[in-house]
Amino acid sequence: MHKDVERILLTEQQIDDKVKDIAAQIDEDYKNTVPVLLCILNGAAVFAVDLMRKLKIDTEIDFMQASSYEDNVISKGTVTILKNTKISLEGRDVIIVDDIADTCVTLTYLLDKLKGYNPKSIKSCVLLNKLDVRKPQEDIKIDYKGADIPNEFVVGYGLDYANKYRDLPYIGILKKSVYERK
């Protein structure tokens, strides 16, 4: 285990099982169409490509980058689009693939923006969902979800703190001393 990790929340094997479960659901729901997996960079990159490789249906992938955290552990609450999609989403079945639903400021913003491109359908898929963050009235519908996790700052499997730890094969809680000594 990495020295900056407090404890492991999901092992490599557990993540693999969750991604397989999500892939099986998407395979079932998108039998007659080729959905666009819209990966939200950078955090969802690892998850999105693993998911794509586990799907039996045909898919296309595109990437979007939004920023709300920068080097913080708390969301700034405002979203900027740093990279937009290349594929035309008009009339397409779109699945937004993100790493984690925290405040959902990002997902809410992106869902709203993407609706403006007139997709045929749009669904959300996240590997992790943080519990006890959003008030019921702020909640959004997450269509595919890997796991609910406690409200802690986590890293690994694509998730970072100041761009570090994305390469860890597991998901772990980051030691508070790492960001509190800043």
Candidates 99, 102, 132, 160; catalytic one: 102
124 binds, among Mg ion, ligand IMP, none (CB under 5 to 8 A by kind): none
Q: Taking CB under 6 A as the rule, does residue 105 contact ligand IMP?
A: yes
104 binds, among Mg ion, ligand IMP, none (CB under 5 to 8 A by kind): ligand IMP
CA distance 83 to 21: 29
Say whether 56 sits in a helix, a strand or coil: coil
Phi, psi of 3 (to 5 degrees): -65, -20
CA distance 173 to 61: 29
Q: Taking CB under 6 A as the rule, does residue 102 contact ligand IMP?
A: yes
What are 36's two structure tokens? Answer: 């666009």
CA distance 99 to 119: 22
Q: Taking CB under 6 A as the rule, does residue 153 contact ligand IMP?
A: yes
> Of the two residues 120 and 164, which places its CB atom closer to ligand IMP in the complex?
164
Phi, psi of 162 (to 5 degrees): 50, 45
71 belongs to the catalytic site: no
Residues recognised as catalytic: 102
Interacting residue ranges for ligand IMP, rule: CB under 6 A: 43, 68-69, 75, 98-107, 153-155, 159
